[in-house]
Amino acid sequence: MNYTPALVVPALLAAVLVGCDPAPMSSPSVFPAKTQTNSAVLEPKDYPFARKAEFTKQMRAQLAEINRELDLLAAKIEKSTAPVKAEAEPRIKSLRELADRLKTQLEAAGEASESTWETAKDGTRTAFDALKEGFQQSRQWISEKIAP
């Protein structure tokens, strides 16, 4: 049997697309799921002192994205009822403090020497993990309190 590319390509494309999930309707999270294929998110152990600038650059970009998403959450809260605002205010304040702590850790990591690099890197990752955890919990809480 003789197959022409004009018939094979559309058939293959259709077969591939049938198994695909539709694209998510909301913006992607700043905290990607850890998967085998997500090579863009490296673990801190993957950053020796020679890659300090790359590590701090990546972490600064993640902090900037978190701050943008935090501003969006704060705007949603601002449009909600007074009781929700009152309950959410300490959560947002706590997240802002965690973001400030991460910023301080990033500054320390940027100034770290080779002998202090591992400690500075671990401190930065610990601060990031705390902010990530708090952000995810707050986002979940807000989604339960505020209808989309």
User: What's the pLDDT tens digit per position in 63-98?
Assistant: 999 999 999 988 888 888 898 889 999 999 999 999
Residue 147 pLDDT: 63
Tokens linked to 93: 């304040």
Residue 16 in domain: no
Residue 115 in domain: yes
Residue 139 pLDDT: 87
Which helix (H) or strand (E) segment is 137 a member of?
helix 117-145
Inter-residue contact 109 to 62 (CB < 8 Å): no
Residue 8 in domain: no
Residue 79 pLDDT: 87
Q: Which residue, 127, 130, 119, is CA-closest to 101?
A: 127
Residue 27 in domain: no
Confidence of residue 30 (pLDDT cuts 50, 70, 90): very low
Residue 96 pLDDT: 94
pLDDT of 2 strictly over 90:
no
What torsion do the CA atoms of 109, 110, 116, 121 make, to the nearest 10 degrees?
30
Range of the domain at 86: 43-145
Residue-wise pLDDT for 116-142, tens only, equals: 999 999 999 999 999 999 999 988 888
Tokens linked to 117: 């690099």
Arithmetic mean of pLDDT over the chain = 75
Residue 110 in domain: yes
Domain total in the chain: 1
Residue 113 in domain: yes
Residue 20 in domain: no
Distance CA 1, CA 143 (A): 56
Residue 18 in domain: no
- The crossing angle, in degrees rounded to 10, of helices 117-145 and 52-78 is 20
